[in-house]
Amino acid sequence: MRRLVVFLAFAFTVMADPVSSVAYAIEAALRGLEGDLSTLVPTMAVIVAVIAVIATTYGELIRRFPSGGGGPEGVAAAFSEGWAFIPLGALLVDFTLTVAVSCAAGASALIAYFPGLAGVRTPLGLALVALVAGVVLLGQTGRVAFAVATVLFIVLGGSVIALALLGDPAGATASGSAPPPFLSDAALGPLLLAVPLGMALATGVEAPSNAIAQLSDLDDRARRRYGLWTLWLMIGIVGGLTIGFTVAAIRMGVGTPPENSTLLAELARHAVGDGVAFAGFQGVSALLLLSAAASSYLAGSGVLKALATLGREGEGLVPRAFGRVNRFLVPEWGVALVLLAAASLVAAGGREQRLVPYYAVAVFASFLAATLACARLSHRDRRRGLLALNLLGSLLVGLVLAVNATRVDGLVALLASVVVAGVLWRVWVSRGRPSGVAGAGVA
């Protein structure tokens, strides 16, 4: 029973980020399809399939590095420690974007229930960025809230899906016409352009491979087991919710939402009405999104703390202030830096759908480094099956990055990751190449 409780607490805490991305990733893909519901199912199915392939790479990293480390550890083992800055730089950008997107999406969830707040969307988003930072600075007891919010969203989301699928379809209550088809002969071009936008759903796939480092009281075998169970449970839940919400939206005829609402809010409204159930769903959605933001605050500030104490006599790759913690053992300067960066993004972008095009790019740079690293390690070990799977993952991730690089926002996010990685690498070289870079990802 104790092991089950530990596993569930660990798993549902780690899942906050990827599960929360369901709240905006489906809508982002639909907007990329210009509202064409008939193409949404194949688009989201492709996205879920790509994520499953990427997950196999991180499953391999969990097996190889049961003490944690994920992509940075794998890249260091495959190519040398200096290359670990590529995934580290990408993750630092991704953590900041997660805070910004999650808080902006939390504001949108509240506005969907309280439309009168639409006029203060940006100030509301900024207030949420600051509120989450304040809660994080009070310590990590909020991790219980992460798990609770995740479970509640899964339960309520499943209920909304079930009610939408069991209710009258769009054509039965409107003009008598049939609802949009679940599948159609979609043109390849629109689908390929929409898939990278929906790939915001992939954020957090790397989390179990890093988070198992927190299970320090377990042996390697147990950490591997907990990490792998969490990874595949996460993929199953995220994939199930994604396809479920997608099919339900098509059946109910819920397309691109109005200005002051979201796709999930409109679907919930159609399924349960405007009463208490709808308020509860929106409240839980907002709480889950803020939990994801809090998790990224902790992860980003933790990486900065590790980088600040790297090297001889704690010389560090970033200013020593980032290595200090408050009385709740939280790196306050790291939280402050993530807060300023995320607040700047919210102030510039306003709502989450304007930020999502930047979002999946940074984490996919990390994915590409990880899949290529695993491919090299599999080649060294003469494991041909895994090598083929790793190369497939590298190809798929590379295609997503290539399509993203054709857009200005995608290129900006990719360049930001490269700049962060490059600056850290130059400082690392000037400090005499101290060891321990790969371990910064588990802080």
For residue 19, give every residue at least 6 positions away whose Cβ sits within 8 Å of its Cβ, in sequence order, or none: 150, 153, 154, 204, 234, 237, 238, 241, 288
CB 131 within 8 A of CB 293: no
pLDDT digits (tens, 9 = 90+) for 305-317: 999 988 766 678 9
Number of neighbouring beta carbons within 10 Å of residue 178: 9
Please state the domain count of the chain: 1
The rounded percent of the chain whose pLDDT value lies above 70 is: 93
Residue 216 has pLDDT above 50, yes or no: yes
pLDDT value of residue 368: 92
Residue 173 has pLDDT above 50, yes or no: no
- Over residues 51-72, mean pLDDT: 91
Query: What CATH number is given to the structural domain containing 431?
Result: 1.20.1740.10
pLDDT value of residue 189: 62
For residue 33, give every residue at least 6 positions away whose Cβ sits within 8 Å of its Cβ, in sequence order, or none: 39, 40, 43, 190, 191, 194
pLDDT value of residue 316: 86
Task: Report d(CA 153, CA 268) in Å as an integer.
Answer: 12
pLDDT value of residue 175: 39
- Over residues 57-61, mean pLDDT: 93
pLDDT digits (tens, 9 = 90+) for 322-365: 999 988 889 999 999 999 999 999 999 778 999 988 887 878 88
The rounded percent of the chain whose pLDDT value lies above 90 is: 58
Tokens linked to 266: 């409109």
Does residue 432 sit in helix, strand or coil? coil
Average pLDDT, the chain: 88
Residue 186 has pLDDT above 70, yes or no: no
Task: Report d(CA 51, CA 71) in Å as an integer.
Answer: 15
For residue 170, give every residue at least 6 positions away whose Cβ sits within 8 Å of its Cβ, in sequence order, or none: 179, 180, 251, 252, 253
For 2, 245, 359, 425, the CA distances from 362, given in Å and listed in that order, are 37, 26, 7, 17
pLDDT value of residue 443: 55
For 37, 39, 181, 226, 273, the CA distances from 184, given in Å and listed in that order, are 9, 6, 7, 40, 30
Full domain range(s) for residue 155: 2-442
Tokens linked to 277: 């159930």
Task: Report d(CA 219, CA 125) in Å as an integer.
Answer: 42
Number of neighbouring beta carbons within 10 Å of residue 411: 14
pLDDT digits (tens, 9 = 90+) for 274-283: 889 999 999 9
pLDDT value of residue 113: 93
